[in-house]
Amino acid sequence: MSQIEASVSHDFNEWRQEARKLLRAQVPPPEVVWKSSLSEQNELFSFSKTSSLVPKALNEIRVPAEFISKAKLVYACRSDDTPAFLYRILWRSVYEDSNLFKISIDADVQEFESRYHSVCRDMHKMKAFVRFREVEDRFIAWHGPDHRIIRLVAPFFAERFNGMNWSILTEDGCAHWDQTSLTFTEGLPQSEAPQFDAGEALWKIYYQSIFNPARIKLKAMTKELPIRYWRSLPETGVISELLRTAPERLQGFYEASKVPTAEQWLPSLSEGELTHDRLKEALPQCRACGICERATQPVLGEGPLSAEIVFIGEQPGEEEDQSGRPFVGPAGQVLNQAFEQVGLDRKELYLTNAVKAYKWTEKEGVGRIHRGSSPQEISICNPWLKAELSLLKPKVIVGLGRSAAQALLGKSVLMRDVRGQFFKTPFCERTLIVPHPSYILRIQDRDAQQAEFNQWVRELKQIVAA
């Protein structure tokens, strides 16, 4: 069997021209010896050249379109058999099966796709991991790709950094851009590349600032940033130290993110020693959320500690702030009317609020106006409410409004989702959630307001029925 020598270099177009001659001469793959400048070849034998071939195919050779676009990348694969492999699969698609590339289970097709995706990944890594160092009036980078991709990726950098003079060095070849044209020279080892510049220190500082110790995933990191690339990346010089100090930094994040609570302001007493009077004495000292500092006085709940029913609102209003008693303003009056219709005696009930002080803002020409408590403020003040409820043994708790619902249920809710329903909470077996009386006061239409009040009363009557 005579053999033909086909000589190629790093240029895909050279391989393409040689492959075209071989196909037209109908030279099967086993009869071709590929001599490539990309790998070492033995010179023990001499073969006929492709220039001596006589075309046998009379018609134009039709090459599948999907082959050409991908073969250009596959040709960059760092494997000595790449020229021969590409010719073999091309031969098969032309002379054996024109639908070859649609047969996904074919071994050659699978290998072709595998090499293609490997080169694509390597190109992506190069775009992400090239770091330029400034040397006089030029920016220089060294990169160690897995495949021979410098000519494929260089146009990307020419477009991205077209306003600078740069060179990218690899062992396979070097790309140079002078803001006008892209040129290529022979490859260089990493030892020829610059090792450090002033901008590298800034890059390390930036990397340290965005490093999140709470999201360390070593397996994922080394998959996306393989260790073989570390030698050319300035930020990798600080990775070991960042990983070493991550637990300490994470603990710092945890401490800083802790939501403050009023726990530290509660009386330091055992459960049996805690009394309502001691709570009332300690409450004015609380500075957990800052609301108390602007209020006239904090307002603890009032009523018999033996009360079977406890009503919990949002926070004191203007009148409560001045008097130091809960539910003595307009909302309290609406509540009193409801008590009469439901058949409850206020003197037998315990009334309090989720937040213990009046939160307000100044409005010109009006004076102080109410501001709603935030979810965080409700959480901060919750230890005071828990302490109050620990002194009581109610059969029923009524949460008035969304703030009370959050304090009792431990989460933010929509009133339409919980209204008129009983819930089991840590404080009581039966906790009823209904709107706050101030909601009824805000309804402008008299008929609508009365209808809302009547529904509210019907919901409260469930307490008596229970």
Give the domains, in start order, of the chain with CATH numbers. Answer: 4-122 (no CATH), 130-192 (no CATH), 198-257 (no CATH), 272-465 (3.40.470.10)
Cα–Cα–Cα angle for 376, 377, 380, rounded to 5 degrees: 85
**φ, ψ at 381 (rounded to 5°):** -85, -10
Helix spans in 138-197 (H): 150-160
The pTM for the full model equals 0.51
* 306: number of Cβ within 10 Å: 10
pLDDT of res. 47: 54
Distance CA 442, CA 342 (A): 22
d(CA 172, CA 82): 16
Query: Which residue from 222, 281, 289, 228 is spatially nearest to 262, judged by alpha carbons?
Result: 289
**Cβ atoms within 10 Å, residue 66:** 12
pLDDT, residue 256, reads: 56
* Neighbouring residues of 90: CB distance < 8 A, sequence distance ≥ 6: 19, 23, 63, 67, 71
* First vs last C-alpha separation in the chain: 102
Interatomic CA distance for residues 427 and 35, integer angstroms: 85
CA quadruple 208, 212, 216, 221: dihedral positive or negative? Answer: negative
pLDDT profile of the chain (466 residues), mean per 10? 76 90 89 73 52 61 84 93 93 90 93 96 90 81 91 94 91 92 89 62 57 60 62 59 66 61 86 88 91 93 96 96 96 96 96 96 88 92 95 95 95 94 95 97 95 96 83
Phi, psi of 20, rounded to the nearest 5 degrees: -65, -45
pLDDT of residue 328: 96
Residue 15, Cβ density class (10 Å: 0-12 exposed, 13-18 middle, ≥19 buried): buried
